[in-house]
């Protein structure tokens, strides 16, 4: 410090040391406050995130309430893409949901799609379609056990759909090439799509998945956008499909 004697008086040197000390103290306090803020930020977990963490730790499915869920949350549901999520929101804004069964009123959502969604849905409104009422048969068709017989006229089970399909096609033993039923590729479920020549369960599911992700087909040629379906397959089924 002796070299400072040439430039500063003893009083000025003391003042400089005081300023340096205050600056150092301020720096230390600033670092300490920053660490406290960072620690508090790490320990604060949003409520929704905490629920997700708890659900994952307890191996529980996330329950989505279609009455309040956002578009991003609805897209997390099995079989629901961006277009179908928006359809759910549009229906909710116009009519409201009285029960999870009301999802069946939305175009493109059938019993099989609803069955996939049920484990992730918060059920409400005394629904007839519940996980307990759904069983999978050997042909992967869903049978609905309804306790309220008054609703059977309004809610057709997959068993009756299969019966209707047999009436249209005659017999399940008839070769596909001899079937004449017309299939609407915008509404048909997997069993009906499988009646088309060259369409098995894998391609039928691919059609449904594409439809759920991108919305309805505008023309029969749009089916070429489905992976695994090319021009040759389209020519086989062109006379049997419609939109």
Please write the tens of the pLDDT for every residue from 141-159: 343 333 344 444 444 444 4
Domain residue extents for the chain: 50-152, 156-243
Instruction: State the distance between the two ends of the chain, measured CA to CA, in whole angstroms.
Output: 92
The domain defined by 50-152 folds into: DNA polymerase; domain 1 (1.10.150)
What is the mean predicted confidence (pLDDT) over 29-40?
62
Planar angle of CA 38, 42, 46, nearest 5 degrees:
130
pLDDT-wise least confident of 8-12, 16-20, 69-73, 109-113: 8-12
Q: What is the largest CA-CA distance in the chain?
A: 113
Distances (CA, A) of 63 to 69, 117, 119: 10, 10, 8
Q: What is the pLDDT of residue 47?
A: 54
* Tens digits of residue pLDDT in 223-232: 999 988 999 9
The CATH number of the domain covering residues in 156-243: 1.10.150.320
Same fold, 50-152 and 156-243: yes
3-class secondary-structure state, position 208 = helix
Copy the structure tokens of residue 230: 């090319």
């Amino acid at each position: 410090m002796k070299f400072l004697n040439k430039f500063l008086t003893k009083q000025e040197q003391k003042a400089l040391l005081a300023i340096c000390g205050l600056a150092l103290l301020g720096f230390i306090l600033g670092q300490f406050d920053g660490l406290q803020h960072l620690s508090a930020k790490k320990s604060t977990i949003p409520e929704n995130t905490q629920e997700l963490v708890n659900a994952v730790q307890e191996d529980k499915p996330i329950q989505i309430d279609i009455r309040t869920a956002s578009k991003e949350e609805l897209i997390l549901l099995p079989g629901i893409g961006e277009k179908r999520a928006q359809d759910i929101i549009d229906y909710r804004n116009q009519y409201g949901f009285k029960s999870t069964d009301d999802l069946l009123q939305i175009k493109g959502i059938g019993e099989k799609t609803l069955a996939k969604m049920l484990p992730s849905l918060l059920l409400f409104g005394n629904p007839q379609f519940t996980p307990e009422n759904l069983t999978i048969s050997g042909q992967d068709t869903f049978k609905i056990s309804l306790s309220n017989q008054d609703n059977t006229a309004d809610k057709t089970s997959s068993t009756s759909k299969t019966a209707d399909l047999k009436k249209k096609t005659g017999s399940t033993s008839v070769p596909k090439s001899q079937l004449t039923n017309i299939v609407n590729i915008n509404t048909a479920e997997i069993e009906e799509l499988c009646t088309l020549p060259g369409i098995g369960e894998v391609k039928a599911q691919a059609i449904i998945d594409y439809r759920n992700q991108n919305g309805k087909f505008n023309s029969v040629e749009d089916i070429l956008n489905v992976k695994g379906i090319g021009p040759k397959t389209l020519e086989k089924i062109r006379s049997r499909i419609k939109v």
